[in-house]
Structure 1
Amino acid sequence: MVSKGKTTITFHSGILTIGGTIIEVSYEDAHIFFDFGTEYRPELGLKDDNLATLLKNRLIPELKGIYDPRLNYTYHGEDEQEYKETAVFLSHAHLDHSKMINYLDPKIPLYTLNETVKILRSLNRNGDFLIPSPFEAKNFTREMIGLNAYDVITVGKIKVELVPVDHDAYGACALLIHTPDSFITYTGDLRLHGYDRQFTLDFCQKARHTDLLMMEGVSISFDEKETEEIKVFSEEDLIAQLVKQIAANQKRQLTFNGYPANVKRFEQIIEKSPRTVVLEANMAALMQDVFGMNVPYYYPLNADTTISSLDTKLEVSYEELLADDHNYLWQAVANFEKLQSGGMYFHMDAQPLGYFDPKYQVFLDLLDLKKVEFVRLACSGHAFPQDLDTIISMIEPKILVPIHTLKPEKLENPYGKRILPTRGEKITEFKGE
């Protein structure tokens, strides 16, 4: 039976966890979903990313009529409603929001900003970023419909506007969702301390007095602890700290790595570094795809393919980088055991991400064994706790729903009601208090 004149929100996943957000908004015979990634649980040590494995370990939810029918998935949920129109939206390229898009039914349209399309296609050029489809070539990436900022898509009587926000994944957006009876807002992931702060400020104005605000709260998930890492307060501050470190270590091998979707950070490293920056070939290709930049690059050990779009005149040999101690700042992505003893490595939100990943301590131990100094220069892609409060104060939502956090109860709404949903819960009432 179709619910007439009633907006329903279903929180399939992304509740009491960081990542894997999948939320459904339905109205009459149309519904939309956002996002389409998986929870990040490296401690599980899973041997594969098969649909059955992900479902069994609750890294993704049961969804009716959404997964590729060729996967022979059988729905085990309780939803009996049939829909005439369906669409999926991606807020940005991070894997916890995009990893399983190749498992989406090919007939269902997938919308995101043009920048995210470029990043996902480039990162998956070797087929090792997204979960591969078992029915396609290894480097297959399913069709995505790229949109410009502020474009509006209509699905039945649901209208969705994609609004850019500041995040450490280039091309991130929030969603403003209008149905005949509700104005719903999904922040995606956002912050106020990156290069695109104004995007977030503009978004807050457009979302002002929304009926319901679904807001990420990653930064309130953890107790603040004093660490030995260098304190970084903004993307600009991170680059300044890096430049300072480079200048203080003029006769030393210097390497770094960062999360590839943060292409604006890589752009600034290239521009501001006192040394020539050399990127791993796939990262160089990503910078070319997104910004049209041609930068020095190298192929790592045992690379079995080359990238035809890269200028061969800009290639630096891997052997030259391994021997260098004064000309280059280069991106190290593998074979860390080959780095020079006494060198310095800058870890800038790269994999492995932190102590929750079993591979992190192994990585630190390897660098310590090689006597390579580990310097963590981290700048969160998520709003600081005080900035979360600032964003809420600018929007003044009638109802606040904290998601994408381990401690949703720490986010308050002085302007109305707060709802703390459970996984799988449906909400149909949008009256603030």
Structure 2
Amino acid sequence: MSLNFYGGVNEIGGNKILVDNKDSSNSDDKNISSLFLDFGMSFSKAGDYFSEFLQPRKLNGIMDFVELGLLPKIKGIYREDYLKHCGLECSKEPSVDGVLLSHAHMDHCAYIHHLREDIPIFMRKESEIILSVLEETGKSSFGEIMSLKKSFHYVPKKRGEGYKKLTGKEAKVERNIVSIDPYSPFDINGFKVTSIPVDHSLPGSSAYFLESDDEAIVYSGDIRFHGRNKSFSDKFVSKSYKFNPTIMICEGTRINENSKGNEEDIETKAVNLIKDYNGLVFVNYPIRDLDRLITFYNVAKDTDRILAINSKQAYMLKLLEDEKGIENDKYPKLSDSNIVVYFPRKKQGLISGEHYVCYDGDWKTLDSCDLELKSDYDIWEREFLEGDNVINYTDLQEEPQNIF
């Protein structure tokens, strides 16, 4: 057994941990099973070279990342289009058996984008939903994780001579995403793997137990003990003790700090801050942090307000609500009277119904069913436009004291 750390050491996030398990009964190097524990972006290292206005070049495939030490130089793991474009060899078979994803934060999953599509990515269903929403609603050049779009590919034109760039659905390739269930062991080429839920700031967070003939490894992923799912982490500790690991890899961002409160404390503090305030209240938190959404949902109810969420978070809540077999009852439903979906003005600014458009000399306003208004918004947003709980800037002007 060998462990190689390509990120996550002496830094926050960036985890890329390669576990190699050589078959002790055979000296042939081909009899090695290999797994990555996460494959994330190092924010600190990336920040040394890139900023909002200076980003890696897509035209260079993986080379900007490799040359700057952001991706490891390992054969057999990277996608064919990025390698071939730069004149590099692409192996016929992947050199690793999979990636165990602990959770859907970018410092643990972002660089999956660069991996070849036939490497299995193991994750909980909640992580699948979160990453699907971020991929469909995002605009990042390197944002595809659940699938990939072939770059540098050209196909013959349907009419006339020459070639055209491969785009759209024809360029999309689905990754080998494997859904896993908590506490249900499964095998990956000699590794017995078990996903153990832990408390973190987004659903689907998982620790892992890995067993081979010689070693028993515990990988905590990111873990905390002060969220709404503290019982998950407590159960992880209990099971880890019984598992009797020979190796433990533990997240330690605040390992030397004492607890400074929990999510319920934040809820109480927020209520006290705004209960006597009559104006509009703005809060900011990541759309993946559904524990924090529950907190401000409760705060809104306790202060006779309505929680306004954006369309991305509405989309995520809908997919979680529709998914069977996961714990989704604790999240507010979109039909809840204390939830509204805020739509800002886009493109032509038609959302309020106060602006006119001209049809053959006849000026009129539009409603949410009209195609022209819907075209201001992305396809995934449009189903929410016709809901009864949609608000826009005019609603904030009329009753700001009720919105949170």
TM-score, reference length from structure 1: 0.65
2:234 to 189, 193, 201: 201
Asked if the contact 2:120–2:175 (Cα under 8 Å) also holds between the matched residues in 1, the reply is: no
Deviation of the 1:264 alpha carbon = 2.5
C-alpha distance in 2, partners of 1:322/1:63? Answer: 56
What is the correspondence of 1:24-63 to structure 2 with a 5 Å cutoff?
24-28=18-22, 29-41=32-44, 42=47, 44=49, 45=51, 46-48=54-56, 50=58, 51-63=62-74
Whether 1:69 aligns to 2:83 is no
What's the counterpart of residue 263 of structure 1?
290
CA RMSD, aligned part only?
2.9
SS of residue paired to 2:202: coil
Q: Deviations over 1:180-222 (max 9, x none)?
A: 000011110001101111111111122123111111111258x
The alignment status of 1:150 with 2:183, answered yes or no, reads: yes
Query: Using the alignment, how far apart are the partners of 2:271 and 2:174 within structure 1?
Result: 37
Alpha carbons 1:31, 1:155 under 8 Å: kept: no
- Would the alpha carbon gap of residues 109 and 298 (structure 1) be closer, same or farther in structure 2, given more than 3 Å must change? same
Q: Classify 1:189/1:262 alpha carbon distance in 2 versus 1 (closer, same or farther; 3 Å).
A: same
Residues 168 and 137 (structure 1 numbering): CA distance in 2 closer, same or farther, change over 3 Å? farther
Larger Rg, first or second structure (1 or 2):
2
Unaligned runs of 5+ in 2: 23-31, 151-166, 323-332, 347-375
Residue of structure 1 aligned with 2:118, choices 107, 112, 137: 107
What letter is aligned with 1:158? Answer: F
Q: Is the partner of 1:205 in helix, strand or coil?
A: helix
1:14 to 2, 8, 18: 8
CA distance in 1, matches of 2:67, 2:56: 12
Cα separation, 2, equivalents of 1:281 and 1:33: 34
Residue 174, structure 1, aligned to residue 207, structure 2: yes
Q: Which of residues 231, 244, 259 in structure 1 aligns to 2:272?
A: 244
The amino acid of 1:318's aligned partner reads Y
> For the structure 1 residues 49 and 205, does the alpha-carbon distance in structure 2 shift closer, same or farther, using more than 3 Å as the test?
farther
Identify if the C-alpha distance between structure 1 residues 239 and 84 changes in structure 2 by more than 3 Å, giving closer, same or farther. same
Of structures 1 and 2, the one with the larger relative CO (CA 8 A, separation 6+) is 1
| Pairing of 1:68-147 with structure 2 (within 5 A) | 68-72=79-83, 86-128=97-139, 131-132=143-144, 133-135=148-150, 137=168, 142-147=175-180
Aligned-residue offset at 1:48: 2.8
One-letter amino acid of the structure 1 residue matched with residue 390 of structure 2 = E
Distance 2:57 2:343 in 1: 28
Give the distance between the partners of 1:287 and 1:206, measured in 2 at CA. 31
What is the aligned partner in structure 1 of residue 378 from structure 2? 305
Percentage of identical aligned residues: 24
Distance 1:173 1:296, change over 3 A: same
1:217 aligned partner, one-letter code: G
8 Å contact 2:126–2:203 — kept in the other structure? yes
* Distance (whole Å) between structure 2 residues aligned to residue 283 and residue 15 of structure 1: 32
Q: 1:321 aligns to what?
A: 396
In 2, are the aligned partners of 1:121 and 1:141 still within 8 Å (CA)? Answer: no
Question: Match for 2:133: what amino acid?
Answer: S
- Is 1:285 aligned to 2:329, yes or no? no
Task: Check whether the contact 2:7–2:17 (CA below 8 A) recurs between aligned residues.
Answer: yes
Runs of at least 5 residues in structure 1 that lack an aligned partner in the other structure: 1-6, 77-81, 225-230, 330-433
- For residues 257 and 97 of structure 1, the distance between their equivalents in structure 2, rounded to whole angstroms, comes to 22
Cα shift readout 1:334-376 (whole Å, capped 9, x = no counterpart): xxxxxxxxxxxxxxxxxxxxxxxxxxxxxxxxxxxxxxxxxxx
Q: Which amino acid aligns with 2:340?
A: P
> What count of residue pairs does the alignment treat as equivalent?
311
Q: Amino acid of the residue matched to residue 33 of structure 1?
A: F
Structure 1's 31 and 128: CA in aligned 2 closer, same or farther, altered over 3 A?
A: same
SS at match of 1:255: coil
The one-character-per-residue Cα deviations of 1:361-394 (angstroms, maximum 9, x if unpaired) are xxxxxxxxxxxxxxxxxxxxxxxxxxxxxxxxxx
Cα distance change on mapping 1:143 and 1:84 into 2, 3 Å: closer
